[in-house]
Structures are given as structure tokens and as C-alpha cells.
């Protein structure tokens, strides 16, 4: 699925400036589906949104304490023990940057998320977007 971002692109002008990105690279997990609508937001806003998304899940505390549950949500790598987890999510998005006049430049954006939890509570959540 390609999404297009930009003032003129949103108005339907295909040659206007904007960004077109294939969000399929995010995956099909619950986390990926959530990120497909949020990835372009500022990093701090995205981190706050993810924190809220994790906290409002019905099984929030139990899930934040479970390697299996966090992997089920879409985190790729979780390390730690019974009371403390350190989980990561990473995806690389490919697309096009369309400049004024229709010039197209290939675009690659990496999205990296790290989540640390202790006893079912988030102790740290960091979002880094590289390339945009």
C-alpha cells in the first residue's frame, strides 16, 4: 500500500511536491497496522502515541510483562528476564520524494523503536526515524 504525503499530493496533483511511501514494509502485526497511520508524525508525538496505544490495550500490564505478548504485538526482538524486558522494532520504508517540478528522488526511511518495561510498566520508549 502506497501512501502519499504532501500539500499538493493531498489535493490530487500527482506532480506536486510530496512523499510516496510503501508502508507494507512495516509488516502486518497490530503494531505495524498502528504505525502505518502514524509513522510520519514527529518522533516525540509518535512515542507518546505508542505509549498511549500500549496503555489502552485491555491486557496492558500483563502484555508489557510478557515477551510472547510483545512479540505478538509486533516487536521483533525482546530480551530480558521475568520482571524486565527490552524490546525492539525496526522497519525500512522505501518510496519517492517528489520535488517541485516533478523531480523524483528515491527515499529510504528507517523507523526504530525501543521499549523497556519493568513489572508490566513502560520505563522507556524511544522512537528514531532516519532518512526523513
Instruction: Give the total number of structural domains in the chain.
Output: 1
d(CA 132, CA 105): 13
pLDDT in tens, 74-89: 999 899 877 899 999 9
Q: What pLDDT score does 10 carry? A: 39
Whether residue 9 is predicted with pLDDT greater than 70 in this model: the reply is no
| For range 39-65, the mean pLDDT | 93
Domain range holding 39? 2-130
Q: Are the C-beta atoms of 103 and 117 separated by less than 8 Å?
A: no
93 forms beta bridges with: 109
pLDDT at 98 over 50: yes
Residue-level pLDDT at 19 = 81
Which is nearest to 126 in space by CA: 21, 118, 117? 117
Please say if the pLDDT value at position 107 is more than 70: yes
Residue 52 has pLDDT above 60, yes or no: yes
Mean predicted lDDT score pLDDT of the chain: 86
Amino acid at each position: 500500500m502506497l501512501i502519499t504525503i504532501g500539500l499538493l499530493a493531498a489535493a490530487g496533483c500527482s506532480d506536486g511536491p510530496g512523499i510516496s511511501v510503501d508502508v507494507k514494509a512495516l509488516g502486518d502485526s497490530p503494531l505495524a497496522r498502528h504505525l502505518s497511520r502514524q509513522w510520519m508524525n514527529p518522533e516525540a508525538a509518535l512515542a507518546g502515541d505508542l505509549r498511549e496505544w500500549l496503555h489502552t490495550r485491555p491486557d496492558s500490564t500483563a502484555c508489557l510483562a510478557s515477551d510472547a505478548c510483545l512479540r505478538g504485538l509486533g516487536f521483533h526482538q525482546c530480551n530480558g528476564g521475568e520482571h524486565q524486558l527490552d524490546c525492539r522494532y525496526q522497519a525500512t520504508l522505501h518510496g519517492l520524494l517528489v520535488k517541485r517540478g516533478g523531480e523524483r528522488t528515491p527515499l529510504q526511511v528507517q523507523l526504530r523503536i525501543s521499549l523497556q518495561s519493568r513489572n508490566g510498566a513502560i520505563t522507556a520508549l524511544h522512537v528514531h526515524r532516519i532518512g526523513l
